Amino acid sequence: MLAVKSIAAGMALVSITAFAADVSRKPKALVIMLDGMRGDAVENACAPNLQMLRDGRWQPGYKCAWTLNAHTLYDAPALSAPNHVGIACGVTSKKSTIVNNGTSRCDFAKWPSWLVRAVSAKPELKALFMFSWNWDAQLSPDPRVEFVCGTDESNAATLSRRLAAPDAPDATMWYIDWPDHGGHLCGYYPYTPGYLHCVHLSDKAIGGALAAIASRPTFDKEDWLVIVTADHGGYGRSHGALGGQSETIPFLMTGRGLPQGKMNGIPHNYDVAPTVLAHFGIDASGFELDGKAVVPAVPAARTRGLGDGLAVYLPFEGKTPASLANAASGNVEATPCGNVSTTERGGFIGSSLHLETSTNGTGSVCLKGSENLDFENGAEFAMAMWVRMDGAQTGDPLIVANKDWRNGKNPGVLITARGKSGLTFNAGMDGQSDRPRLDVGSCYVEYGAWTFCAVTRGADGVLSLYHGGRDGFLYRIAYGANDIRLKTGYPFFIGQDGTGRYSYSFNGDIDDFALWTRALSDDDVKKIYESGRMGISLGDIAKAGD
């Protein structure tokens, strides 16, 4: 709850219609606010209860529509107070006026919490707000809503007892501080054991609450909606000032009648309030909320081999120029420019491409013909590679790009080595958005070590940036990129921008580079990453038809 992040505009791309409970059962709801919970921590931490929810394995008849690409408020720093108000009240900071963790106050008479709105519309409901951060005592207080402030440990035990009791609250909001405590103390990202332990403690507490709900004698006559989200993520020991690492959070929505699977688009944490109100049959359309009731669109699974849509694949095996032969079926030719060589100096898998600036010139590889590629739906694409940086880079040199990097607003996409920050992704937008450019937050890189990097933009407009090392943690951040400008007239370059004339050059190695004219799924990216960690190249798994 300490640091300030960059403000990035988000895009709610889920389908929005009315969502209501099963009228034959009594509606009940539990909203869980996890402080400092990164979206990717759901998969990488020991969190069997969250994973059970995500996979739709909680109770018969209950399914989960989920995403790990949800976002925080777009008009305030990634701090707890403005996002707690957003989750509880369904408004952004422009309306709440809360932009920090200080003493600023919201007009809760005008923007009450969803708990207050629920008991106002239906006085028979019992409402509970349980929290461990003292600031939350001022979050829309009302005598009809029970406020309980205790430690995370005591709250978990108390709530489990309350939820199992015959007079359990109908509408509950529960704040858990553990992940944020572990992040500030030990570091959110790259993960530390202390942070992962605190995520695990939170998961155990959630498991107790879920077991208590399922144990209720009247459970079969009830229609529960369980939503799990967060107020922010983190970078290092702070919430992060680098964008996506602090803004990308989980959104798990479990209930009867929901589709099972990963939802399209990017919901926001301030969509929680109208979604829960809709579950209770309360129409929020007249409340002037910023959030929208979420009815998730879960696309049908598509089974495609990794070779489908693969336009460029460069394993960099053998001696240059033979090592630059494109092993994919796309009509793209890899041509060396300047100081390019393959090296056996610990290539990630076999040999690798080595690029550096020296007296012999600037090294890069031009992917001739890539400017003519036909990308699906105009802007679906994916790239994946392993990268090793020799050290801190100068002048934001390009790892791969098809844009003129003299101005980040120019059309096209790139991955750049940004000084001491590691890897980052940039894209030019189509001019119709209020964002002329998109900068996805930087990813940590250990100098001298191999880092996996992948980026994909799907048909739902979500752009995801993945990275991971040999430790097995695959990190992910995401942004709405519905208006991305992918085609530029320039070819893709490795080690240069699309013009081939950028002033600063990348120093390091690249291996197993691939470019697709379609999006990759999460499972595709995980498969490439996990195989690479075991010394298996993309070419090997693509040939196997996996």
Query: What is the DSSP secondary-structure string of 120-175?
Result: HH-TT--EEEEESSGGGGGSS--TTEEEEE--HHHHHHHHHHHHHSTT--SEEEEE
Label residue 339 by pLDDT band (50, 70, 90): confident
The reported pLDDT for the residue numbered 300 is 83
The CATH number of the domain holding residue 109 is: 3.40.720.10
Q: Are residues 323 and 423 in the same domain?
A: yes
Q: Are residues 355 and 480 in the same domain?
A: yes
Q: Token pair of 96, please?
A: 């709440």
Percent of the chain with pLDDT over 90: 74
493: left (phi over 0), alpha (psi -120 to 50) or beta: beta
Instruction: Tell me whether residue 160 is in a domain.
Output: yes
Instruction: Tell me whether residue 10 is in a domain.
Output: no
Q: Are residues 209 and 267 in the same domain?
A: yes
Which residue range is the domain that position 529 belongs to? 310-543
Q: Are residues 48 and 120 in the same domain?
A: yes
Label residue 545 by pLDDT band (50, 70, 90): low
Q: Are residues 99 and 212 in the same domain?
A: yes
Instruction: Tell me whether residue 19 is in a domain.
Output: no
Instruction: Tell me whether residue 385 is in a domain.
Output: yes
As a whole number, mean pLDDT of residues 204-232 equals 98
Q: How far apart are CA 331 and CA 329, in angstroms?
A: 7
The CATH number of the domain holding residue 377 is: 2.60.120.200
513, 316 contact by CB (below 8 A):
yes
4, pLDDT greater than 60: no
**For 196-205, 345-354, 531-540, which range has the lowest pLDDT when averaged over its residues?**
345-354
**What average pLDDT is seen over the chain?**
90
Q: How far apart are CA 339 and CA 62, in angstroms?
A: 58
Instruction: Tell me whether residue 20 is in a domain.
Output: no
Q: Are residues 320 and 261 in the same domain?
A: no
pLDDT tens digit sequence for 266-314: 999 999 999 999 999 999 999 999 999 998 889 887 788 999 999 999 9
Q: How far apart are CA 338 and CA 344, in angstroms?
A: 19
Q: Are residues 356 and 494 in the same domain?
A: yes
The reported pLDDT for the residue numbered 215 is 98
Overall domain count for the chain: 2
274, 78 contact by CB (below 8 A):
no
Instruction: Tell me whether residue 13 is in a domain.
Output: no
361, pLDDT greater than 50: yes
Cut 0.85: pTM above it:
yes
Q: Are residues 250 and 331 in the same domain?
A: no
The reported pLDDT for the residue numbered 239 is 86
Instruction: Tell me whether residue 426 is in a domain.
Output: yes
The reported pLDDT for the residue numbered 345 is 59
Q: Are residues 473 and 515 in the same domain?
A: yes
495: left (phi over 0), alpha (psi -120 to 50) or beta: left
Q: Are residues 450 and 512 in the same domain?
A: yes
First to last CA, the chain: 43
8, pLDDT greater than 50: no
Q: Are residues 432 and 520 in the same domain?
A: yes
Q: Are residues 244 and 361 in the same domain?
A: no
Positive or negative, the CA dihedral 519, 522, 525, 527 is negative
pLDDT tens digit sequence for 33-87: 999 999 999 999 999 999 999 999 999 999 999 999 999 999 998 999 999 999 9
SS3 percent helix, strand, coil of the chain, rounded to 5, is 25, 30, 50
The reported pLDDT for the residue numbered 306 is 95
